[in-house]
Structure 1
């Protein structure tokens, strides 16, 4: 089944790579923009309440689309709308924000950008290392720094590493054939290639993939690739993860051509909360998610969930108890093991195992606001910028620089770390983190006094210590494909008993491509289809949804015995 919608890229040469598959190649962007809409529920179901647990981007997209169908979503949120789309204004300069979670969005994320465009947000290129939109990059490894505008400015070994990565992908992962298939949305070819690779690579770690490639026979090449990588930076924190996770990112163009949202990513979920849809069933014109909630705010955190004779019963921490015929759970799945009390009947037993096995990546960030984007000053001795986007094996690991013009404050992400590098900072106070990071940067930029440019209090986060998150995002380990398939396909419930239906999982944990908002959005749309189907609705014949075509493009199922 070919679901291709021809879309020329900006140069008009060929269709762009989008986040289309490879596990479940369904055109969510086309489904959303079809004039027939996502479907309809029976008139008797109009106004039916549906619980949506979690007010991140997955929860807000699910609630928004359920509202458009004429249902009444009831959103529960433990902290603030946005989830890991968390934009924190600096107290002294609130017009400048620190992106504590999601901050870079690939243009390949066409379903996500449907909502970014809908609420009127603007984006600008993200300053990734060696990007054409990044003024300059410094790579600092083993005490030696290299200044660069492009890859050709770096020593030859860096080009050798880049070539080795390309060669490994071509020889072992059919990358060119897959990218061509993704561009043309050739579902048959995507499925044929991916279904060959999944059984072969499910048990292979990213590092194991590299060591098995003749192109990466040298440890030095593997070490440099881990520290620096290409696209968004170093890959070594992903080395223990499944190689399938890496291929999903590469095939979908998720690690290149990324944008940031001007004014902060949290605007997307908060604007969806107050956005008036152009077309909606049942509700009067001007209805918004905010208007459907008392006081315009979501209900408080969920205390417990259980199945009762009439559906899913939810109690919040304010002791409000409601029973719903359907519910969508978008919070991190580990919350079902610790934060939310629930009995085992809530999910089928194999799904509980999949939840238990979910693996999260840790991450820390440290931001400061500066008087101006001083890093663009030119050192008269060298003719170079006094600071650059920085990749290093020192404590900061990644330094990103954001400016909105020479007459406005600048924002520096002084440190962006993952996993073990995040744990090095986790027990430090905010001030200790600042001192450690500034000390490391002083070794790279000995003549630059960053401290004199800081004009506000720094802000920081460690996602693995955030009580309602317990990690930055999921990323599967080798052998986790079967668990991920169970989580992702849970929206298909016709084979479940009546007592096991009605609760739908969504969010980053459930998606195939962890760490990208596109996956959270598309799993939310799967859940919308599931609720629609569960309440007796259906999609338009000319615009089938993900569940309607599931049997034709379903993810490969691996044997368990």
Structure 2
């Protein structure tokens, strides 16, 4: 099977990007402008900025601040890369288990700026009913359906997709909003989106589905199918309790469409930035990298944060008791860790901000992978002519099974099970061998003639993000009524109206973004924090390339009030 490669977006203009809808600022334009992000005064060169967390958000903060001539110092309590975690199977280089983010929509243009800069190869992700998948099996309520296109499925599935599209149009002016996003018409996006934010903040995804005229005309079975296997990348039932605004953003910004994966693993992105010397950099000598600036390694995890007076430096204590001082501080970790894992001085954030950080709700996620000798699923059944196994969506315990290959005779990877929330919690207490056994048992019922075990080589790999003390969950899933919390967290980088003791500490990461679980949110909030640090230390954006803080008053999220 042909495996097309790409390192840039081939789509004709205009196309959907992650532009807004809450903050209509073109981050991709800002970071690619030849004028650069801005500058700090020469007397600020070399000033230190502490960064908590070496995920993609923390590493991008460090990379861009180093380019400005500042000295970033990154602390990491767990593994480098955060939830961009790629684990190779033993003895291989190309057989990768993507334990965190694995699907990256082309609309994530700020993220792809760094991917392209590093020259990382990408390929279309084998989502259900895509050319990359080849074939798809939907197994629901004991019935197994094989399809290579949507037209191979019974009419019910097309009815479900059509009903959802109609509901989006009826309740969210979907077509008009996407057209405004494509055109980057900031004023029109805000005009259309702000009333939707007000109308749907208190209502759940399931409420949106069940109350829509399009679904009312259909049976409960249609809603059940939508929840169990959905459309596009899979079922949506784990998101049913979430705020509908969370889902609307995913759909509007094309985050569930045109997805790619990184050949060799997405962890190459943060690691590539760590070892790359920027082409345009002030203050530091030619060839400087984050790795060299840190003496080869990140600092250990942070356990305590204090501030000297109201305008003084931040004191950061690491897990071995070493205390360092910083002129500014960025926290990119999941928000619960600021109260559960660190002794964070309370006065550094307003009490309503602490409320928002602690009320953030994280979703559970589990994956289990095995390596196989070859992509045997491409074999054809002599009786039916069909591929013997397919990308699989099911209501069984596995929920989603995805297949990755690097050629017909090379070792391949199976994500046996990818599950969320209650389905992930069923796996949480089990060792990896038991998880594999349960997944294989479920798949045998779908593929009784296929012996997967004869192809498995090496040891399986698994993850449950809720059991990792450095994460406590996979990512944020905002509940109805959480918009105001997100509004506080996201806008924290613009600090002109804050009391002195609260200035200089910045938040970043996808958990404070409007698009949790998507790497673009982590990248955009990192760039917000970079602008915040730059201005906090006396700098400013280039006049021809205003930054996010310069645009925030006009283009920022609507304030729904207290």
Q: TM-score range, shorter-chain basis?
A: over 0.9
- Cα deviation per residue 1:178-203 (whole Å; 9 max; x = unaligned)? 11000000001100111110111000
1:58 aligns with 2:57: yes
Any idea what SS the aligned residue of 1:128 has? coil
Q: CA deviation at 1:136?
A: 0.3
3-state SS in 1 of match to 2:441:
helix
What's 2:545 paired with?
543
Residues in 2 aligned to 1:428 and 1:183: alpha-carbon distance in whole angstroms? 45
Calculate the TM-score normalised by the size of structure 1: 0.97
Match of 2:128, SS state, is: coil
Spell out the pairing of 1:137-216 with structure 2 (5 A cutoff).
137-216=136-215
Aligned-pair CA distance for 1:93: 3.1
Q: Which residue of 1 aligns with 2:231?
A: 230
2:118 aligns with 119
Query: Secondary structure in 2 aligned to 1:400?
Result: strand
Give 3-state SS (helix, strand or coil) of 1:313's partner. Answer: strand
Give, in whole Å, the separation in 1 of the partners of 2:38 and 2:368: 44
What secondary structure does 1:457 align onto? strand
| Contact in 2 for aligned 1:368/1:454 (Cα 8 Å) | yes
What's the counterpart of residue 99 of structure 2? 100
Tell me which residue corresponds to 2:41.
Answer: 42
Deviation per CA, 1:45-64, whole angstroms, max 9, x where unpaired? Answer: 00001001100000000000
For the aligned residue pairs, the C-alpha RMSD in angstroms reads 1.1
Pick from 457, 460, 465 the counterpart of residue 455 of structure 1: 457
**Whole-angstrom CA distance in 2 between matches of 1:316 and 1:171:** 52
- SS of 1:384 mapped into structure 2: coil
Deviation at 1:95, TM superposition (A): 3.5
Q: Following the alignment from structure 1 to structure 2, what is the Cα–Cα distance between the partners of residues 233 and 290?
A: 39
How far did 1:11 drift? 5.9
Query: Which whole-Å CA distance do the structure 2 matches of 1:161 and 1:256 have between them?
Result: 17
Residues 93 and 456 in structure 1, CA contact (< 8 A), matched pair in contact too = no
Does the alignment pair 1:426 with 2:428?
yes
CA deviation after TM superposition for structure 1 residue 311, in Å:
2.1
Whether 1:336 and 2:335 are equivalent positions in the alignment is no
What secondary structure, in the 3-state scheme, does the structure 2 residue paired with 1:249 have?
Answer: helix
Is 1:276 the counterpart of 2:297 in the alignment? no
- The answer on whether the counterparts of 2:93 and 2:264 sit within 8 Å (CA) in structure 1 is no
Q: Is the 8 A contact 2:200 2:245 kept in 1?
A: yes
- 1:303 aligned onto 2:303: yes
Give the Cα separation in 2 of the matches to 1:525 and 1:94. 32
Distance 1:130 1:312 in 2: 52
Q: 1:132 & 1:197 partners in 2: Cα distance? A: 35
2:314 maps to 312
Match of 1:29 in 2: 28
Matches within 5 A, 1:1-12: 10=10, 12=12
Residue matched to 1:252: 253
Aligned partner of 1:262 in structure 2 is 263
| Alignment match, 2:369 | 367
* 1:379 aligned partner: 381
Instruction: Describe the superposition over 1:8-35 as per-residue Cα deviations: whole angstroms up to 9, x where unpaired.
Output: 98464x4010011100010000000111
Q: Secondary structure at the match of 1:350?
A: helix
Q: Give the match for residue 552 of structure 1.
A: 554
- How has the CA–CA distance of structure 1 residues 477 and 235 changed in structure 2, closer, same or farther, with 3 Å as cutoff? same
Establish whether residue 405 from structure 1 lines up as the match of residue 407 from structure 2: yes
Tell me the residue number matched to 2:5.
Answer: none
Specify the alignment match of 2:3 in structure 1.
Answer: none
Whether the 8 Å contact between 1:9 and 1:16 is mirrored in structure 2 is no
CA distances 1:116-169 after superposition (whole Å, capped 9, x unpaired) = 011111100000011122110000000101000111100110011011011101
Q: Using the alignment, how far apart are the partners of 2:233 and 2:531 within structure 1?
A: 34
Tell me the TM-score normalized by structure 2. Answer: 0.97
Runs of 5+ consecutive residues of structure 1 not aligned to the other structure: 1-7
Deviations 1:294-352 (A, max 9, x none): 2x101000011122222211000121101111011101111001011112112111100
> Does the 8 A contact of 1:42 with 1:537 survive in 2?
yes
Partner residue in 1 for 2:323: 321
Q: Tell me the CA shift for residue 92 of structure 1.
A: 4.0
Question: Number of matched residues?
Answer: 551
Q: Where does residue 359 of structure 2 map in the other structure?
A: 357
* Preserved contact between residue 330 and residue 507 of structure 1 (Cα < 8 Å): yes
How far apart are the structure 1 equivalents of 2:239 and 2:88? 30
Q: Judge conservation of contact 1:9–1:15 (CA < 8 Å) in 2.
A: no
SS at match of 1:543: coil
SS at match of 2:544: coil
Aligned to 2:60, the other structure's residue is in SS state helix
**Counterpart position of 2:133:** 134
- Does the CA-based 8 Å contact 2:494-2:549 persist in structure 1? yes
Q: Note closer, same or farther for the CA distance 1:303–1:415 as it changes in structure 2 (3 Å cut).
A: same
Alpha carbons 1:68, 1:280 under 8 Å: kept: yes
Separation in structure 1 between the aligned mates of residue 237 and residue 204 of structure 2, nearest angstrom: 11
Preserved contact between residue 391 and residue 401 of structure 2 (Cα < 8 Å): yes
Distance in structure 2 (CA, Å) of the matches to 1:422 and 1:211: 25
State how far apart, in whole Å, the 2-side matches of 1:30 and 1:329 are. Answer: 25
Once structures 1 and 2 are overlaid, which stretch shifts more, 274-283 or 341-350?
A: 341-350
How many angstroms apart in 1 are the aligned matches of 2:103 and 2:524?
18
What residue number does 1:70 align with?
69
Cα distance in 1 for residues equivalent to 2:187 and 2:222: 36
Q: Distance in 2 between matches of 1:529 and 1:290?
A: 23
1:81 aligned residue: 80
Contact 2:9 2:106 in 1 (8 A): no
Q: Distance in 2 between matches of 1:377 and 1:141?
A: 24
